[in-house]
């Protein structure tokens, strides 16, 4: 199987890179330089017209969207146990929390990091203020869930949801109220950060913060 990942340091490609290493999948990594706008180069746009990362090529098939790629990798490697069996109650919870990442957390982060996009330069402060409220409310919901049903998002079972959540927790590290402010979230993150595969991702991508 030929696997090629296009990503960039500290972006949504991190979770895909992490899972490739966690699952022991041999792959080729292409790190795009966003400062040089390599994600908008003609060569990359020919692969992913959206000009975003990650893009994963598996035997030539182009896959985009970090959550979708993560779920697909789990399904391709069921022996790792990172996704519950289809049709089970746990599978329903798995879909719920993956969609929570995609529809609740990620759009709020987008508004925080790119506040000019939804309402223009004149409304940056208002957009960031609203995004912060949304993110803190969402993380409180996750913290309450972990407190009641942890230690992982699906209880005792480690799953792709935990990898996604950890990446998104990291995105808050420089915000006024990072996820480390919730002890239960900090404890979850610690369990995930202690996994050797994440240390290897950090090494390969040259990341040294939030360790």
> In this structure, are residues 179 and 189 in contact, taking their beta carbons and an 8 Å threshold?
yes
CA 72 to chain centre: 14
Helix 160-171 to helix 106-113 angle, to the nearest 10 degrees?
Answer: 20
pLDDT digits (tens, 9 = 90+) for 146-181: 999 999 999 999 999 999 999 999 999 999 999 999
Give the CA count within 13 Å in the CB-facing half-sphere of 172. Answer: 25
Does residue 118 carry a pLDDT above 90? Answer: no
β-strands 28-31, 55-58: how paired?
unpaired
Mean pLDDT of 82-104: 98
pLDDT of residue 34: 93
User: What's the mean pLDDT in 86-103?
Assistant: 98
Pull the structure tokens for residue 27.
Answer: 């792959």
Whether residue 113 is predicted with pLDDT greater than 90 in this model: the reply is yes
Q: How confident is the model at residue 1 (pLDDT cuts 50, 70, 90)?
A: confident
The residue-averaged pLDDT of 72-82 equals 98
Q: What is the mean pLDDT of residues 80-86?
A: 98
pLDDT in tens, 23-61: 999 999 999 999 999 999 999 999 999 999 999 999 999
Distance CA(136)–CA(207), nearest Å, equals: 25
Left, alpha or beta for 25 (phi > 0: left; psi -120 to 50: alpha)? beta
154 DSSP β-pair partners: 157
- What confidence tier does 95 reach under pLDDT thresholds 50, 70, 90? very high
Given pLDDT bands bounded at 50, 70 and 90, which one contains residue 204?
A: very high
Alpha helices (runs of H) in 39-123, residue ranges in sequence order: 42-47, 66-76, 89-100, 106-113, 116-119
Give dist(CA 29, CA 14) in Å, integer. Answer: 11
How high is the pLDDT of residue 119? 85
**For the purposes of burial, counting CB atoms within 10 Å of the CB of 103, is it exposed (0-12), middle (13-18) or buried (19 or more)?**
exposed
Q: Tell me which of 119 and 83 has the higher pLDDT.
A: 83
Distance between CA 171 and CA 179 in Å, rounded? Answer: 9
């Amino acid at each position: 199987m030929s696997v090629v990942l296009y990503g960039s340091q500290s972006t949504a490609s991190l979770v895909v890179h992490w899972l490739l290493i966690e699952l022991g999948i041999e792959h080729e990594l292409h790190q795009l330089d966003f400062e040089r706008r390599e994600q908008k180069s003609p060569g990359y746009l020919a692969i992913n017209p959206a000009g975003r990362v990650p893009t994963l090529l598996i035997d030539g098939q182009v896959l985009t969207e970090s959550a979708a790629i993560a779920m697909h990798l789990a399904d391709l490697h069921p022996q790792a146990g990172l996704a519950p069996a289809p049709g089970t109650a746990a599978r329903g919870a798995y879909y719920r929390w993956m969609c929570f990442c995609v529809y609740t957390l990620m759009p709020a982060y987008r508004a925080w990091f790119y506040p000019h996009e939804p309402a223009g330069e004149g409304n940056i402060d208002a957009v960031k203020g609203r995004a912060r409220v949304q993110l803190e409310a969402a993380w409180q919901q996750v913290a309450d869930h972990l407190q009641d049903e942890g230690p992982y998002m699906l209880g005792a079972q480690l799953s792709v949801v935990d990898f996604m959540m950890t990446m998104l927790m990291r995105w808050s590290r420089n915000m006024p109220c990072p996820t480390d402010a919730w002890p239960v979230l900090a404890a979850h993150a610690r369990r995930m950060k202690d996994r050797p595969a994440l240390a290897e991702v950090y090494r390969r991508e040259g990341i040294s913060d939030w360790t």
